[in-house]
A and B are shown apart, each in its own frame.
Chain A
Amino acid sequence: MSDPVIELEALCRDYQMGTSRVRALREVNLTLQTGEFVALMGASGSGKSTLLNVLGCLETPTSGRYFLEGRDVGALAKDERARVRNQQIGFIFQSFNLLPRLSALENVALPLHYRRMGHSAAQHQAAVALDRVGLADRAHHPPNALSGGERQRVAIARALVTQPAILLADEPTGNLDSATGAEIMALLVELSKEGRTVLLVTHDTAIAAYAQRGLRMRDGQLLT
């Protein structure tokens, strides 16, 4: 457990808001080790969403360096970043973001299709991932036939199916009642124990308590 999955060196991110320039991330330094379960907390506007987006390769840092599994991914081109997202990052969203017209199984298989995996291999791998989150019997249901907790499990299966380097969970329990939220957190803890690296973004201290390590952000800076 000594290889860093993520290393950020003096990471900055600026936004142009009209005529003024806003610095959303200020010199962020961060190292995440393999298998760590880290909670990132902070008020809205503190920069945690921006940090999550940069970590997820959805946007690029203005300056500083971002190493993902030892590779500098901070300045990659658009399609290269898409490849990184596909192969090394698993997203779990607050609002699940399942595609309504696809079944649970097809939703889980989607990232595999984007890496050009054949249909039957993808179906098989997606079925294994669904089984892992305990939804093997719900594979052919569309999202709107599933409960909130089940939907989030499908989303977790979709994040897991590509065997990513890190799971990025953005308020994964935000749309769930507390009992269901606890179940989802238990699943994330389990995954962490299996050796998955998890970064959890939340503003709820009770949720953050599930993590091994807590980080707090304020005004674009990481407090230590």
Chain B
Amino acid sequence: MTVSILLFTAWRGVAANKLRAALTMLGVIIGVASVIAMLALGNGARAAVEARFRFLGSDEVQIGSRQKFDDGELAPQGKALTYEDGLKMIEAVALVDDVDMTVSSNGKVRFGRAALDMPLNGVTASALEKIAVAQQVQPVGWPEDRPLTPPALLSRGRFFTFAEVLEGAAVCVLGSETAQDLFGGDDPLGATVWVGRERCLVIGVLVELESADEQQRYSANPNDTFYLPISTAIQWLYEEPPSVNLTAHVTDEAQMDAAKAQITTYLRERHDIVRGADGLYPDDFNLTTRKDILGAQQEAARTFSLLLTAMAAVSLVVGGIGIMNVMLVSVTERTREIGVRLALGARSVDIVGQFLLEAIVISGLGGVLGVIVGVFTIPVAATLNQGLALLAPDSIPLALSIALTTGVVFGLYPALRAARLDPIEALRYE
């Protein structure tokens, strides 16, 4: 028989017993759906990790405070990382040549009658450079292939100098929307705005920015921003030294491990951490490099692929046994039909093809339905996993091929049994 007629015949065989076929598919549907959902969970977790650390350069060490739960709130485990910690690190740690620091706190900004209550960012002088390198945001309409430079981010004026950051100068740089909100169409450059009770000179305005990732363009607004030198922000916005985010730049990527050791020694000294009775240091900070993240990611990927293999195996067996069972029943029920087909000149391959294809149609349909069910399961899985579930595109062909393999493997035996029937016996079958 030609393939199209074989397929049509197989389809009719399945359609003749819709309920039975649907129940048989259930095993495959559940198996395939769980493969899709599993992979989505893994993919979501990976995407979340990547989104958080994508902008960590290979020469950078992210330094964070270790947190613990205290009265239901996250609090630093020991001493918080301070501006001083970061500032002195540049001098004290030989392998570190620069430290980026940021703090963020809500505050009031006023100019004339316009007042904004918004997050105020305290940053170091290299903040603009960091934005350009990270490429998380870009000027609206920026061509994809053009490298982003720090000057391209400024529409007017300039960014902070090292000196301004060190001395805590009363200067600020505005995002384009903040400038629009405070000044309307007027030129903000050289104007003085009020930050709380302090007067602050506007020295720069950023161009209108958009998220480089198109999918995030509607959720995040990168223009509603206000920058102060970090020392100024600490002075004006905090009563005691706040916890800052630190990113250390290492002079030589090759000596990353040595640099981490130096940073550790330096921070232990500053935070008065001594070796405990168990021989371990009760560190109150974490060092994270790109290599650490990649390693953790690979570890997670390995675990997920193991889980996936188990899932696939279970779905293969459960769905497959169901298919085999139904196909054996079907072959027995249709013994006479097989006899007629053999008498009319069907060869073994024709009979094998017919029943194998029927099994494949069942498993393939089950696979398609399973993919649909799996895709609709992802939002549910996401709510159970802190929003971390994202359809892995590869999972669809993978799940479908698992389903089809199931059909082939478990449909083969019943199909061979059908083809081995003796035509005379089969024709006599009642």
Contacts and interface: CB of A to CB of B under 8 A. Distances in A.
Do A and B form a real pair?
yes
Interface of A: 53, 56, 58-59, 78-79, 82-83, 85-87, 91, 93, 97-99, 101, 110-111, 113-116, 118-119, 158, 162
B-side interface mostly: helix
B1 interface: yes
Contacts of B340: 97-99
Given A53-B424, A85-B343, A101-B12, A116 B1 contact: yes
B341 A110 contact: yes
B154 to A, nearest CB: 70
A111 B348 contact: no
Q: Which of B1, B12, B16 has the most CB of A within 10 A?
A: B1
Contacts of A110: 341, 344
What 7 pairs across the A-B complex have the smallest Cβ distances? A86-B345, A111-B344, A114-B345, A82-B347, A113-B1, A79-B347, A85-B345
A91 B345 CA distance: 11
Contacts of A98: 340
B164 interface: no
A62 B278 CA distance: 89
B1 A82 contact: no
A118 B1 CA distance: 9
B336 A97 contact: yes
Contacts of B337: 99
13 contacts: A58-B423, A79-B349, A82-B342, A83-B345, A86-B344, A101-B12, A113-B2, A113-B5, A114-B345, A116-B1, A118-B2, A119-B5, A158-B344
Contact of B347 (A59, A101, A114): A114
Contacts of B4: 119
Contact of A58 (B12, B343, B346): B343
A91 B347 contact: no
B247 to A, nearest CB: 69
A51 to B, nearest CB: 13
A97 B345 contact: no
A114 B12 contact: no
Contacts of A97: 336, 339-340, 343, 427
A4 B12 CA distance: 42
B344 A87 contact: no
B2 A119 contact: yes
Contacts of A91: 343-344
Given A99-B337, A114-B350, A93 B427 contact: yes
Contacts of A116: 1-2
A158 B345 CA distance: 12
A14 B252 CA distance: 91
Contact of A115 (B12, B336, B342, B345): B345
Contacts of A111: 344-345
A115 B347 CA distance: 10
